[in-house]
Structure 1
Protein backbone atom coordinates (compact mmCIF):
# COMPACT_ATOMS: atom_id res chain seq x y z
CA UNK A 1 0.00 0.00 0.00
CA UNK A 2 1.42 3.36 -1.04
CA UNK A 3 1.03 6.37 1.27
CA UNK A 4 2.41 9.66 0.03
CA UNK A 5 4.97 11.76 1.84
CA UNK A 6 2.33 14.51 1.85
CA UNK A 7 0.16 12.35 4.14
CA UNK A 8 3.01 11.82 6.59
CA UNK A 9 3.78 15.53 6.47
CA UNK A 10 0.19 16.45 7.37
CA UNK A 11 0.05 13.82 10.12
CA UNK A 12 3.34 15.05 11.58
CA UNK A 13 2.09 18.64 11.66
CA UNK A 14 -1.21 17.64 13.31
CA UNK A 15 0.53 15.55 15.97
CA UNK A 16 2.99 18.37 16.64
CA UNK A 17 0.14 20.84 17.07
CA UNK A 18 -1.66 18.47 19.43
CA UNK A 19 1.46 18.17 21.57
CA UNK A 20 2.32 21.85 21.56
CA UNK A 21 -1.17 23.36 21.91
CA UNK A 22 -1.71 22.39 25.57
CA UNK A 23 1.60 24.03 26.42
CA UNK A 24 0.64 27.17 24.53
CA UNK A 25 -2.79 27.38 26.15
CA UNK A 26 -1.31 26.60 29.56
CA UNK A 27 1.18 29.43 29.21
CA UNK A 28 -1.56 31.76 27.99
CA UNK A 29 -3.85 30.85 30.89
CA UNK A 30 -1.06 31.35 33.42
CA UNK A 31 -0.17 34.70 31.88
CA UNK A 32 -3.81 35.81 31.93
CA UNK A 33 -4.17 34.71 35.54
CA UNK A 34 -1.10 36.67 36.56
CA UNK A 35 -2.19 39.76 34.64
CA UNK A 36 -5.62 39.74 36.29
CA UNK A 37 -4.13 39.28 39.75
CA UNK A 38 -1.61 42.05 39.17
CA UNK A 39 -4.38 44.46 38.20
CA UNK A 40 -6.37 43.46 41.28
CA UNK A 41 -3.31 43.66 43.56
CA UNK A 42 -2.44 47.16 42.38
CA UNK A 43 -5.95 48.35 43.17
CA UNK A 44 -5.86 46.71 46.60
CA UNK A 45 -2.53 48.42 47.31
CA UNK A 46 -4.00 51.75 46.23
CA UNK A 47 -7.02 51.23 48.47
CA UNK A 48 -4.77 50.42 51.41
CA UNK A 49 -2.67 53.56 50.99
CA UNK A 50 -5.69 55.78 50.39
CA UNK A 51 -7.43 54.57 53.54
CA UNK A 52 -4.31 54.67 55.70
CA UNK A 53 -3.32 58.10 54.38
CA UNK A 54 -6.79 59.44 55.12
CA UNK A 55 -6.69 58.21 58.71
CA UNK A 56 -3.19 59.61 59.25
CA UNK A 57 -4.02 63.06 57.89
CA UNK A 58 -7.20 63.25 59.94
CA UNK A 59 -5.47 62.21 63.16
CA UNK A 60 -2.46 64.47 62.59
CA UNK A 61 -4.73 67.45 61.95
CA UNK A 62 -7.06 66.76 64.87
CA UNK A 63 -4.76 65.41 67.58
CA UNK A 64 -1.16 65.71 66.42
CA UNK A 65 1.65 63.22 65.71
CA UNK A 66 1.45 61.40 69.07
CA UNK A 67 -2.10 60.30 68.27
CA UNK A 68 -1.02 59.31 64.76
CA UNK A 69 1.19 56.59 66.24
CA UNK A 70 -1.97 54.64 67.01
CA UNK A 71 -3.01 54.81 63.36
CA UNK A 72 0.07 52.92 62.19
CA UNK A 73 -0.02 50.61 65.19
CA UNK A 74 -3.71 49.67 65.24
CA UNK A 75 -5.59 51.08 62.24
CA UNK A 76 -3.15 49.95 59.53
CA UNK A 77 -3.40 46.24 60.49
CA UNK A 78 -7.19 46.56 60.63
CA UNK A 79 -7.28 47.98 57.10
CA UNK A 80 -4.98 45.20 55.89
CA UNK A 81 -7.17 42.53 57.51
CA UNK A 82 -10.34 43.99 56.00
CA UNK A 83 -8.83 44.09 52.51
CA UNK A 84 -7.52 40.55 52.94
CA UNK A 85 -10.98 39.25 53.80
CA UNK A 86 -12.71 41.22 51.05
CA UNK A 87 -10.37 40.14 48.27
CA UNK A 88 -8.98 36.76 49.31
CA UNK A 89 -5.46 38.17 49.58
CA UNK A 90 -2.97 38.23 52.40
CA UNK A 91 -2.31 41.96 52.57
CA UNK A 92 0.42 43.31 54.84
CA UNK A 93 3.24 45.83 55.15
CA UNK A 94 6.83 44.65 55.44
CA UNK A 95 10.13 46.36 56.19
CA UNK A 96 13.69 45.46 57.14
CA UNK A 97 13.53 48.08 59.92
CA UNK A 98 10.58 47.16 62.09
CA UNK A 99 9.12 48.90 65.11
CA UNK A 100 7.72 45.62 66.37
CA UNK A 101 9.66 42.58 65.14
CA UNK A 102 6.54 40.44 65.60
CA UNK A 103 4.84 42.39 62.81
CA UNK A 104 6.08 43.31 59.35
CA UNK A 105 9.23 41.19 59.24
CA UNK A 106 9.75 40.15 55.59
CA UNK A 107 10.14 36.56 54.42
CA UNK A 108 12.96 35.63 52.03
CA UNK A 109 11.09 36.62 48.85
CA UNK A 110 10.02 39.94 50.37
CA UNK A 111 13.53 40.67 51.65
CA UNK A 112 15.04 39.99 48.22
CA UNK A 113 12.40 42.17 46.57
CA UNK A 114 13.06 45.05 48.98
CA UNK A 115 16.78 44.79 48.19
CA UNK A 116 15.97 44.80 44.46
CA UNK A 117 13.85 47.95 44.89
CA UNK A 118 16.76 49.74 46.57
CA UNK A 119 19.16 48.60 43.84
CA UNK A 120 16.81 49.97 41.17
CA UNK A 121 16.51 53.26 43.06
CA UNK A 122 20.29 53.60 43.16
CA UNK A 123 20.22 53.46 39.36
CA UNK A 124 17.77 56.37 39.25
CA UNK A 125 14.38 54.68 39.11
CA UNK A 126 11.59 56.21 41.18
CA UNK A 127 9.98 54.09 43.90
CA UNK A 128 6.58 55.33 42.77
CA UNK A 129 7.11 53.66 39.38
CA UNK A 130 8.20 50.31 40.82
CA UNK A 131 6.34 47.11 41.56
CA UNK A 132 7.12 43.42 41.61
CA UNK A 133 4.66 40.82 40.36
CA UNK A 134 5.34 37.12 39.89
CA UNK A 135 4.17 33.57 40.46
CA UNK A 136 6.39 31.58 42.81
CA UNK A 137 6.46 27.99 44.01
CA UNK A 138 6.57 27.42 47.75
CA UNK A 139 6.56 23.90 49.17
CA UNK A 140 5.07 22.52 45.97
CA UNK A 141 2.28 25.10 45.72
CA UNK A 142 2.01 28.09 43.38
CA UNK A 143 1.38 31.56 44.79
CA UNK A 144 0.86 34.92 43.20
CA UNK A 145 3.02 37.57 44.90
CA UNK A 146 3.00 41.33 44.53
CA UNK A 147 4.91 44.14 46.22
CA UNK A 148 4.68 47.92 45.93
CA UNK A 149 7.42 49.99 47.60
CA UNK A 150 6.65 52.72 50.13
CA UNK A 151 8.97 55.72 50.14
CA UNK A 152 9.41 58.07 53.10
CA UNK A 153 7.36 61.27 52.75
CA UNK A 154 7.92 64.55 54.67
CA UNK A 155 5.08 63.80 57.10
CA UNK A 156 6.72 60.45 57.97
CA UNK A 157 9.68 62.22 59.61
CA UNK A 158 7.53 63.21 62.59
CA UNK A 159 7.76 59.57 63.67
CA UNK A 160 10.54 58.09 61.52
CA UNK A 161 13.10 60.89 61.24
CA UNK A 162 16.11 61.77 63.39
CA UNK A 163 15.88 62.68 67.08
CA UNK A 164 16.02 66.33 66.04
CA UNK A 165 13.01 65.87 63.74
CA UNK A 166 10.85 63.76 66.07
CA UNK A 167 9.10 65.83 68.78
CA UNK A 168 9.99 64.87 72.36
CA UNK A 169 6.45 63.73 73.19
CA UNK A 170 6.46 61.50 70.11
CA UNK A 171 9.84 60.05 71.09
CA UNK A 172 8.56 59.30 74.58
CA UNK A 173 5.50 57.50 73.21
CA UNK A 174 7.57 55.56 70.68
CA UNK A 175 9.98 54.47 73.41
CA UNK A 176 7.01 53.29 75.45
CA UNK A 177 5.22 51.48 72.62
CA UNK A 178 8.29 50.13 70.81
CA UNK A 179 11.27 49.45 73.11
CA UNK A 180 13.13 47.74 70.24
CA UNK A 181 12.29 50.33 67.58
CA UNK A 182 14.50 50.21 64.47
CA UNK A 183 12.39 52.53 62.32
CA UNK A 184 14.06 55.90 62.86
CA UNK A 185 16.68 58.09 61.16
CA UNK A 186 15.03 57.89 57.77
CA UNK A 187 15.37 60.64 55.18
CA UNK A 188 12.81 61.82 52.64
CA UNK A 189 12.80 59.45 49.68
CA UNK A 190 14.26 56.48 51.56
CA UNK A 191 12.60 53.09 51.20
CA UNK A 192 10.45 52.65 54.30
CA UNK A 193 9.11 49.23 53.24
CA UNK A 194 6.44 47.85 50.95
CA UNK A 195 2.89 46.63 50.68
CA UNK A 196 3.04 42.87 50.17
CA UNK A 197 0.19 40.82 48.72
CA UNK A 198 0.03 37.03 48.41
CA UNK A 199 -2.59 34.56 47.18
CA UNK A 200 -2.57 30.86 46.22
CA UNK A 201 -2.95 30.50 42.46
CA UNK A 202 -5.71 27.92 42.94
CA UNK A 203 -7.80 30.50 44.83
CA UNK A 204 -10.08 32.48 42.47
CA UNK A 205 -10.32 36.24 42.70
CA UNK A 206 -13.25 37.17 44.93
CA UNK A 207 -13.86 40.51 43.23
CA UNK A 208 -13.92 41.49 39.58
CA UNK A 209 -11.65 44.47 38.95
Structure 2
Protein backbone atom coordinates (compact mmCIF):
# COMPACT_ATOMS: atom_id res chain seq x y z
CA UNK A 1 0.00 0.00 0.00
CA UNK A 2 1.58 3.31 -1.01
CA UNK A 3 1.68 6.47 1.14
CA UNK A 4 -1.21 8.15 -0.76
CA UNK A 5 -3.49 5.14 -0.21
CA UNK A 6 -2.61 5.11 3.50
CA UNK A 7 -3.44 8.85 3.78
CA UNK A 8 -6.78 8.36 2.00
CA UNK A 9 -7.59 5.39 4.25
CA UNK A 10 -6.73 7.37 7.40
CA UNK A 11 -8.74 10.39 6.24
CA UNK A 12 -11.73 8.23 5.40
CA UNK A 13 -11.54 6.50 8.78
CA UNK A 14 -11.31 9.77 10.69
CA UNK A 15 -14.28 11.23 8.80
CA UNK A 16 -16.30 8.09 9.46
CA UNK A 17 -15.54 8.30 13.16
CA UNK A 18 -16.28 12.02 13.22
CA UNK A 19 -19.64 11.87 11.50
CA UNK A 20 -21.13 8.55 12.43
CA UNK A 21 -22.04 6.71 15.56
CA UNK A 22 -19.62 4.72 17.61
CA UNK A 23 -21.81 1.77 18.55
CA UNK A 24 -21.17 -1.61 16.98
CA UNK A 25 -23.07 -4.23 19.01
CA UNK A 26 -26.41 -5.48 17.57
CA UNK A 27 -28.28 -4.20 20.64
CA UNK A 28 -26.62 -0.81 20.24
CA UNK A 29 -27.61 -0.80 16.57
CA UNK A 30 -31.24 -1.35 17.57
CA UNK A 31 -30.94 1.44 20.11
CA UNK A 32 -29.55 3.76 17.44
CA UNK A 33 -32.53 3.00 15.21
CA UNK A 34 -34.90 3.70 18.11
CA UNK A 35 -33.09 6.95 18.90
CA UNK A 36 -33.28 8.09 15.27
CA UNK A 37 -37.03 7.49 15.21
CA UNK A 38 -37.41 9.27 18.53
CA UNK A 39 -35.41 12.23 17.18
CA UNK A 40 -37.80 12.49 14.23
CA UNK A 41 -40.91 12.22 16.40
CA UNK A 42 -39.71 14.61 19.11
CA UNK A 43 -38.44 17.14 16.57
CA UNK A 44 -41.68 16.97 14.56
CA UNK A 45 -43.80 17.46 17.70
CA UNK A 46 -41.82 20.55 18.72
CA UNK A 47 -41.73 21.95 15.20
CA UNK A 48 -45.46 21.52 14.74
CA UNK A 49 -46.21 23.68 17.78
CA UNK A 50 -43.68 26.35 16.82
CA UNK A 51 -44.71 26.58 13.16
CA UNK A 52 -48.37 26.84 14.09
CA UNK A 53 -47.64 29.58 16.63
CA UNK A 54 -45.42 31.48 14.17
CA UNK A 55 -48.17 31.39 11.54
CA UNK A 56 -50.85 32.65 13.89
CA UNK A 57 -48.95 35.09 16.11
CA UNK A 58 -45.34 35.44 14.97
CA UNK A 59 -42.23 35.05 17.13
CA UNK A 60 -43.86 36.28 20.34
CA UNK A 61 -46.54 33.60 20.11
CA UNK A 62 -43.89 30.99 19.27
CA UNK A 63 -41.87 31.93 22.35
CA UNK A 64 -44.96 31.74 24.53
CA UNK A 65 -45.99 28.34 23.11
CA UNK A 66 -42.47 26.96 23.48
CA UNK A 67 -42.35 28.16 27.07
CA UNK A 68 -45.68 26.52 27.87
CA UNK A 69 -45.56 23.34 25.77
CA UNK A 70 -41.94 22.26 25.20
CA UNK A 71 -41.58 20.56 28.57
CA UNK A 72 -44.90 18.73 28.19
CA UNK A 73 -43.87 17.55 24.71
CA UNK A 74 -40.54 16.36 26.12
CA UNK A 75 -42.24 14.46 28.93
CA UNK A 76 -44.85 12.84 26.67
CA UNK A 77 -42.10 11.61 24.32
CA UNK A 78 -40.15 10.24 27.28
CA UNK A 79 -43.18 8.42 28.70
CA UNK A 80 -44.18 6.97 25.33
CA UNK A 81 -40.65 5.80 24.47
CA UNK A 82 -39.21 4.80 27.84
CA UNK A 83 -36.14 6.95 27.13
CA UNK A 84 -34.85 10.02 28.94
CA UNK A 85 -35.58 12.73 26.35
CA UNK A 86 -34.08 16.22 26.30
CA UNK A 87 -32.52 19.01 24.29
CA UNK A 88 -29.34 20.75 25.30
CA UNK A 89 -26.87 23.30 23.98
CA UNK A 90 -23.62 25.08 24.70
CA UNK A 91 -25.86 28.19 24.80
CA UNK A 92 -29.07 27.22 26.58
CA UNK A 93 -32.29 29.19 26.73
CA UNK A 94 -33.67 27.29 29.72
CA UNK A 95 -31.06 26.59 32.40
CA UNK A 96 -32.78 23.26 33.12
CA UNK A 97 -31.44 22.11 29.73
CA UNK A 98 -27.76 22.74 30.56
CA UNK A 99 -25.51 19.94 29.29
CA UNK A 100 -23.83 17.47 31.60
CA UNK A 101 -20.11 16.76 31.09
CA UNK A 102 -20.72 13.99 28.53
CA UNK A 103 -23.17 16.12 26.51
CA UNK A 104 -20.81 19.10 26.59
CA UNK A 105 -18.00 16.94 25.19
CA UNK A 106 -20.19 15.68 22.32
CA UNK A 107 -21.51 19.19 21.57
CA UNK A 108 -17.92 20.40 21.33
CA UNK A 109 -17.10 17.53 18.96
CA UNK A 110 -20.06 18.53 16.76
CA UNK A 111 -18.75 22.12 16.74
CA UNK A 112 -15.28 20.92 15.73
CA UNK A 113 -16.81 18.95 12.85
CA UNK A 114 -18.77 22.03 11.71
CA UNK A 115 -15.65 24.19 11.92
CA UNK A 116 -13.84 21.64 9.76
CA UNK A 117 -16.53 22.11 7.10
CA UNK A 118 -18.27 18.76 7.57
CA UNK A 119 -21.94 18.38 6.63
CA UNK A 120 -23.73 17.70 9.91
CA UNK A 121 -27.14 16.84 8.46
CA UNK A 122 -26.48 13.15 9.14
CA UNK A 123 -24.16 13.54 12.11
CA UNK A 124 -24.97 11.67 15.31
CA UNK A 125 -23.11 10.14 18.20
CA UNK A 126 -23.90 7.19 20.45
CA UNK A 127 -22.06 5.41 23.19
CA UNK A 128 -22.67 3.02 26.06
CA UNK A 129 -21.42 4.63 29.26
CA UNK A 130 -21.27 3.46 32.86
CA UNK A 131 -23.34 5.35 35.38
CA UNK A 132 -22.32 3.77 38.68
CA UNK A 133 -23.15 0.08 38.31
CA UNK A 134 -25.53 0.73 35.42
CA UNK A 135 -24.82 0.63 31.68
CA UNK A 136 -26.56 3.48 29.86
CA UNK A 137 -26.98 3.93 26.12
CA UNK A 138 -26.60 7.61 25.18
CA UNK A 139 -27.34 9.26 21.84
CA UNK A 140 -27.05 12.81 20.51
CA UNK A 141 -27.94 14.46 17.23
CA UNK A 142 -27.19 18.11 16.47
CA UNK A 143 -29.98 20.61 15.89
CA UNK A 144 -29.03 22.80 12.95
CA UNK A 145 -30.31 26.38 12.93
CA UNK A 146 -32.87 26.87 10.14
CA UNK A 147 -34.34 30.07 8.74
CA UNK A 148 -37.36 29.96 11.04
CA UNK A 149 -35.12 29.63 14.11
CA UNK A 150 -33.33 32.97 13.74
CA UNK A 151 -36.52 34.91 14.56
CA UNK A 152 -36.01 33.91 18.20
CA UNK A 153 -32.40 32.64 18.22
CA UNK A 154 -30.66 34.94 15.74
CA UNK A 155 -28.32 37.91 16.04
CA UNK A 156 -30.74 40.70 15.07
CA UNK A 157 -33.83 40.13 17.20
CA UNK A 158 -36.52 42.76 17.24
CA UNK A 159 -37.02 44.62 20.51
CA UNK A 160 -40.32 42.89 21.35
CA UNK A 161 -38.71 39.45 21.03
CA UNK A 162 -35.81 40.59 23.22
CA UNK A 163 -38.25 41.86 25.89
CA UNK A 164 -40.27 38.64 25.79
CA UNK A 165 -37.11 36.58 26.16
CA UNK A 166 -36.09 38.61 29.21
CA UNK A 167 -39.48 37.88 30.81
CA UNK A 168 -39.70 34.18 29.93
CA UNK A 169 -36.00 33.26 30.12
CA UNK A 170 -34.04 35.77 32.23
CA UNK A 171 -30.82 33.71 31.89
CA UNK A 172 -31.18 33.14 28.13
CA UNK A 173 -27.93 32.50 26.24
CA UNK A 174 -29.49 31.00 23.10
CA UNK A 175 -29.17 33.92 20.69
CA UNK A 176 -26.60 35.02 18.13
CA UNK A 177 -27.07 32.00 15.86
CA UNK A 178 -26.93 32.10 12.07
CA UNK A 179 -28.56 29.68 9.64
CA UNK A 180 -26.41 26.53 9.57
CA UNK A 181 -25.03 26.94 13.09
CA UNK A 182 -25.43 24.17 15.64
CA UNK A 183 -28.12 25.50 17.97
CA UNK A 184 -27.91 22.49 20.25
CA UNK A 185 -28.70 18.80 20.16
CA UNK A 186 -31.33 16.23 20.89
CA UNK A 187 -30.04 14.02 23.68
CA UNK A 188 -31.50 10.69 24.67
CA UNK A 189 -30.51 7.94 27.06
CA UNK A 190 -31.84 4.70 28.42
CA UNK A 191 -30.65 2.07 30.85
CA UNK A 192 -29.50 -1.20 29.38
CA UNK A 193 -30.74 -4.32 31.12
CA UNK A 194 -27.93 -6.68 31.90
CA UNK A 195 -28.93 -10.30 31.52
CA UNK A 196 -27.78 -12.41 34.45
CA UNK A 197 -26.52 -15.92 33.93
CA UNK A 198 -27.57 -18.66 36.36
How would you bin the TM-score normalised by the shorter chain? 0.7 to 0.9
Please say if 1:33 is aligned against 2:27. yes
* Equivalent-residue separation in structure 1 for 2:65 and 2:187 (angstroms): 19
Give the number of the structure whose alpha-carbon radius of gyration is greater.
1
* Equivalent-residue separation in structure 2 for 1:92 and 1:70 (angstroms): 19
Q: Secondary structure at the match of 2:106?
A: helix
Instruction: Work out whether residues 152 and 191 of structure 1, in 8 Å CA contact, stay in contact via their aligned partners in 2.
Output: yes
Q: Could you tell me how far 1:74 is from its partner in structure 2? A: 2.5
Structure 2 residue runs without a partner (length 5+): 1-23
* Equivalent-residue separation in structure 1 for 2:176 and 2:117 (angstroms): 22
Instruction: Work out whether residues 89 and 199 of structure 1, in 8 Å CA contact, stay in contact via their aligned partners in 2.
Output: yes
Instruction: Work out whether residues 135 and 145 of structure 1, in 8 Å CA contact, stay in contact via their aligned partners in 2.
Output: yes
- With 62-71 and 120-129 compared, the bigger mean Cα shift is at 120-129
Instruction: Work out whether residues 152 and 161 of structure 2, in 8 Å CA contact, stay in contact via their aligned partners in 1.
Output: yes
- With 64-73 and 41-50 compared, the bigger mean Cα shift is at 64-73
Among 61, 66, 69, the alignment partner of 1:72 is 66
Q: Could you tell me how far 1:139 is from its partner in structure 2? A: 1.3
* Equivalent-residue separation in structure 1 for 2:49 and 2:169 (angstroms): 21
Structure 1 residue runs without a partner (length 5+): 1-29, 205-209
Among 164, 178, 183, the alignment partner of 1:187 is 178
CA RMSD of aligned residues (A): 1.6
Q: Deviations over 1:51-108 (max 9, x none)?
A: 111111111001111010023222222111111111110000011111232x110111
* Equivalent-residue separation in structure 2 for 1:148 and 1:72 (angstroms): 20
Structure 2 length normalisation: TM-score? 0.82
Q: Deviations over 1:160-188 (max 9, x none)?
A: 112xx312211111111122211111111
Matched residue, 1:52: 46
* Equivalent-residue separation in structure 2 for 1:203 and 1:155 (angstroms): 43
Matched residue, 1:10: none
Matched residue, 1:170: 161
Q: How many residues align?
A: 172
Matched residue, 1:121: 114
Q: Deviations over 1:29-49 (max 9, x none)?
A: x81111111100100010011
* Equivalent-residue separation in structure 1 for 2:164 and 2:115 (angstroms): 34
Q: Secondary structure at the match of 1:197?
A: strand
After the TM superposition, which parts of structure 1 deviate over 4 Å for at least 4 consecutive aligned residues?
none
Q: Secondary structure at the match of 1:127?
A: coil
